[in-house]
Amino acid sequence: MNKNYVQYGLIISAIMVVLSVLFYILNLSQEKWAQWVGTLVMGVGIVLASINFSKINDGHVTFGNVFMNGFQASLIIAVITVIFSVIMVLIFPDIIEKIMETSRLDMEKKGMPEEQIEQGINFARKFFLIFMVIGGIFLSVICGVIASVIGAAIARKDAK
């Protein structure tokens, strides 16, 4: 059975990395819409990988085959994008400050007391990399599962 998850995982990761750098350079990385672009790219990419997987196997696939191919692509994407995110934060530590400032503003809008905001910001700053790695992997896996299910559902499967 022909597989395409490595190629799609690498291509989707590359697109997400380029977009992240572009959003950082253009100072858009903290915009809510920009934060969803990567998720959209990943989801659409995995669905396309699933459709292509069925095509390169002439439709002789099962739901499980297609799902697993998409999910494996999402694992590659998760690893690459999380590693890239850690490298970005190490190269550009101001990213953390921008994220903390956005968090502070969000907490102020919710009317939280200043003492509580300070505690939250200090806690988030202290464990930032851990939260980033775990959160990045978790969100990528969740997105990958959803996109893989959608891709497996719509990919052509010939009866055997």
CA angle 83, 87, 93 (to 5 degrees): 140
| pLDDT confidence bin for 50, thresholds 50/70/90 | very high
Q: Find, among 125, 123, 124, 103, the residue nearest to 112 by Cα.
A: 103
- In this prediction, residue 112 carries a pLDDT of 87
Contact 145, 73 (CB under 8 A): no
Q: Which tokens go with 62?
A: 């099962």
Residue 155 per-residue DSSP state: S
Is the pLDDT score of 159 beyond 80?
no
Percentage of the residues of the chain whose pLDDT score is greater than 70: 99
- In this prediction, residue 31 carries a pLDDT of 84
Cα–Cα dist 136/131, whole Å: 8
Q: How many residues does the chain have?
A: 160
Cα–Cα dist 60/142, whole Å: 27
Cα–Cα dist 89/98, whole Å: 11
Cα–Cα dist 9/74, whole Å: 6
Enumerate the domain spans of the chain: 5-92+139-154
| pLDDT confidence bin for 160, thresholds 50/70/90 | low
Q: For 102-151, what is each residue's pLDDT tens digit?
A: 888 888 899 888 888 889 889 988 899 899 999 999 999 999 999 999 99
Cα–Cα dist 58/51, whole Å: 11
Between the CA atoms of 96, 100, 103 and 104, what dihedral angle is there, to the nearest 10 degrees? -170
Name the residue type at position 42: M
Which has more confidence, 56 or 156?
Answer: 56
Q: What is the mean pLDDT of residues 54-63?
A: 93
